[in-house]
């Protein structure tokens, strides 16, 4: 996760008013076959099937099945007017859609 993405996620978490972690993963769907998912989760929801990454006290969690597709992923954030938002750079993707929110592996 880049510094820009971490800063934006921490701002979003603060607006929730709770001590949350970020859960990332993949699911079937999207233009290229699989889509990224990202949402806040309660730290109590972490299971033995999750991998936990710590960014200065902020936890990012990913289930092991999704990790097969996301290992090495770089999450970035841009506040550009056109093309802004979260951007996923996935070395495991052999195709991505134009919106950048789905991929094939």
Q: Which of 17, 23, 71, 75 is nearest to 44 (CA)?
A: 23
Architecture of domain 3-104: Sandwich (2.60)
Quick: pLDDT tens for 2-25. Answer: 999 999 999 999 999 889 999 999
Alpha-carbon distances, residue 50 vs 23, 25, 44, 60, 73 (angstroms) = 9, 10, 12, 10, 16
How confident is the model over 55-82, as pLDDT tens digits? 888 999 999 999 988 888 899 999 887 7
Domain locations in the chain?
3-104
């Amino acid at each position: 996760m880049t510094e820009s993405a971490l800063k934006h996620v921490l701002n979003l978490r603060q607006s929730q008013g709770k001590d949350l972690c970020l859960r990332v993963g993949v699911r079937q769907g999207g233009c290229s076959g699989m889509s990224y998912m990202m949402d806040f989760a309660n730290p109590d929801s972490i299971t033995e099937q999750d991998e936990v990454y710590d960014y200065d006290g902020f936890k990012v969690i990913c289930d092991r099945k999704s990790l097969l597709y996301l290992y090495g992923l770089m999450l970035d954030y841009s506040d550009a007017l056109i093309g802004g938002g979260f951007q996923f750079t996935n070395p495991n993707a052999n195709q991505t859609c134009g919106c950048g929110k789905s991929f094939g592996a």
